[in-house]
Every structure is written in structure tokens, then in C-alpha cells.
Structure 1
Amino acid sequence: MVDNTTCANIAGAATSTPANAIQSPQINGSFLQASQSFNTMSPQPCSFNNNSNFPSSQFMNMASPGFGQFNMPTTPNVMYSQQNTDFISVLNMLLSRMDNIDKKLCQLETIQSAMNTLTVKCECMDKKVSQIEIKIREIEQSREYDGTMLENLNKKQKEIELLTGRLKDHEHLMQHEVTDLKCRSMRDNLLFFKIPEEKDEQCEKKYWTSWNQNYESRTHPGTLNCTVSIE
């Protein structure tokens, strides 16, 4: 049998149970099993003395349906506070990770913008390089045409040089032939004037005598007047 004071203490403890401990969904599994097993047990009736000074409010609390349930000890509150601190630490850790992720995302956005500018610049450079390649190809084609023209000009220049050499050789031959013809014509057309002729004269002797006289006329002018003409 339980006395009046113990029943009152049990009733007061039942009414003074913290709401956080009752409403907390995160109570340990072993503690819930112990409370359920204790609730299945039949509560022992308490004998009250009519002459006792027990208050009626406490009697009504004992008569309530929740009377006889197991009172939660103080250890679940400590466990709940530990769980709260663990949960807060986990939340703080998650928040810090989210902040780090946000910072990295901001850095990624800046990197993406920089990469976009780089891609635009690279596209512009590709266009310029393609234009330069086209111009270089055009210049190479024009240089090839100029090269062929230079080769043709060199060939023509060599041909002209050969022709000029041949013309010079032909000119020398012509000059030699002309001089030969002149000499022949002078030999065949040599005439002497104002030389007295005689019958049956010896021309060679006459020639030498005239030559000697001409020589003397050069040394002593006025002795003989002799002219030579070429027809």
C-alpha cells in the first residue's frame, strides 16, 4: 500500500511534467518502450484517509486518466538538449557549407563571364586569322603569277641576248665582207690621171718612176701634180 504523501508526489510530478519532454518527438527508443511497458501494468490503488489534509485539486489530478503513468525522468531533457545542440551544430555546418557553395557559385559565375568574354575574343581572333589566311593565299597566288611572269621574262631576255650575240657576229662578218669588197673594188677601179702615156711602155717601170717623182714632190713640192680617184 502507498501512503498519501507518495500519491501526492506522484500526482504533482505527473502534472508538473514539462511540455517539451512530452511533446518532443525525438525521445530515446528504449525510454518509450519502458514507458509503454509501464502503462500496460495495472496501477495499485492508493488508500486515502478521510481525516487527512490532502487537497481536493490533487485528488482530482489523481483521479484523471493520466494518473498512474510513468513520470519522465530528468535524463531525457538532457538528451533532448544534447540532441538540440547536435541539431544546431549540424544546421550550422550545413549553413556554412551552403555559404561556401554560394561563394563558389559566385566565383563560377565570374569565371563563366570571363570565359564568355574569352570565347568572344577567340571567335574574333578566329575570324581575323581566317581573313589573314585568305589574304595570304591571294598574295601567294599573285606571287606565283609574278613568278611565272618573271620566268617568262628571263627566258625572253636570254633569247634576246642570244639574238644580240648572233647579230653582233653577223655584223662583224658583214663588216669584214664590206671591207673585203671595198678593197676589191679599190683594187679593180684604181685610176691614175695626168700621167703621160706612150706606146709599148712598161707600166711597172712607169709606175715606179712616177712613184719616185711623187715622193720627190712631197719632199720638194711643185715638181709633179698627180691625183688618184676611185670610181
Structure 2
Amino acid sequence: MNQSASPSFTQFPTQSQVPLTSSVFVTSDQFSALIQRLDRIDNKLTQLDGIQSSVKAITVRLDQIDKWVNDMEVKFKDIERSREYDSKNIDEIKKNNSQFDALKANIRQIEEQQKTMNTEVRHDITDIRSRSMRDNLLFFGIPEVRDSENREKDSECVDKVLHIIETKMGIESAKETIKIHRAHRIGKYSQHKTRPIVAKFAYFPDRERVRQSYKKLERPYGVSQQYPPEMMETRKRLIPIMLEARKQQKEAYIVCDKLYINRTLYQEPSQSRNR
């Protein structure tokens, strides 16, 4: 379970905007597709290693040629000043300059290919991490034991989460009807800060029923979905844009790391997206 989280309170799409998953079981086809994706990522990482080795070798050769070209340019200037032109050296300089330009163009092409592959690999990894957090919810404001020598057990975190669900979120008999695989605190322990609890639900419909009851919670309590750090950064950028759109009486909501305004996907400017 990923332990990254943001102690922010997030307004989530309503049930009409985000359809519930009809099945909570992962089929063999889905598992095979996930394995195939991991294999593709492994192949891409292997290709990246080869590209990086090629770039290193080309860079060494490029430095050697650059030094040689600089030396030849000095000689060329001396020859020009004395008006003693050596046609052979001039031709050789032109030839090496041409090779130098070709190498630079080749390196630029390799760098672009590497950027593209890095982006694809990062996207695939983020997607897999997001799917692994699909059944998770973050609970904020639940009192934490401050005894550093006798910290909470995971079972105690499960009991605290179910207690909040039952007493603060109005879901009756939660302790008997909702199953949580595990729950624990995330983040570095501090005497002055209450860490959130991440809980992994056994069944996705139970997680959705709890998530949709978030409005019943009052401070200091809160609940939100868990996302990978990359998605959290994207959501932080999109939330102000969403709020501004709502001020303009537009329909705006965020699904995972995608912003929709008037049911149209919002496209971030490339500079903000690449920061």
C-alpha cells in the first residue's frame, strides 16, 4: 500500500458523475493484461538502459571531436592571418564539422526518444499504482496514541475507522457489515501532528458507500480517496481552476487527475504539465 497522502479535503464527484464498478473481483483476463503491461514496462526500461549507454558513448566521442574541431579552428585562423591556406586541412575541418553537426542531430533525436519513453513509463507506473489504491480511503482527524514506545497496532486503526464510520458517518452496523482488510497510519510519527489512517476495504461497494457519506463528517474529521503522489500534484494544480470555473457558473468536477468543465476535458498548458 502506498503511504503517500495529502491531508487535504477533497470534494468528489457525485454518484451520477462517477459510475460504480459493477464487479469487485479481478478476472484472469484483467490480471493477464496487468502482467503484460508490467512486461512492456520492463522492456521499455531495458531499452532505456541501452539508449543511455549509447548516449554516453556518443557524448565521449562528441567531446573528442569538439576538442579536435577547436584545435583545427585555431590553426585555421593562423593560416588565414598568414594567408597560407592549406586546402587539405580546410577540407578536413569541413568534413569534421559536418560529422559534428550530424552527431548533434543524432543526440537530439535520441534525447527526444528517451523523453517520450520516460513519459510512457511514468504514466504506466502511475496508472498501476492508482489501481492498487482503488479500494483505499484516507481518514483524517482520528486521535492518535502519543506514546512513542507503545504505538497503535493495525487492528486498533481498523477499529477506530469502523467506529468513525458507524458513529460519525451514520452507517449503521458498520462493524458487522463492512470488512476492512487492513488500516494503519501513514507519514512520519510526530508528537505534534495527527497522522491520517489509510484503510483498504475488502469490497469496493463498501468503500464507495463510505466515501459518499463524507458530507456527514464534521471537523476535525475528514475522508478522501488515496492517489499516487503524481496524481496528487496534478489535482493540486487543477483544483483552483475548477473552483474558478464554478464561480463562473460552469459545471466543473475532477475525476482522478482529470478536470471536466461543462463535460469537456480540460487540457493543461504544456509548461504547467511538465513542471
Q: TM-score, normalised by structure 1?
A: 0.31
Larger radius of gyration between Structure 1 and Structure 2: 1
Higher relative contact order (CA 8 A, sep 6+): 2
Would you tell me which structure has more helix in proportion to its own residues?
A: 1
Q: TM-score, normalised by structure 2?
A: 0.27
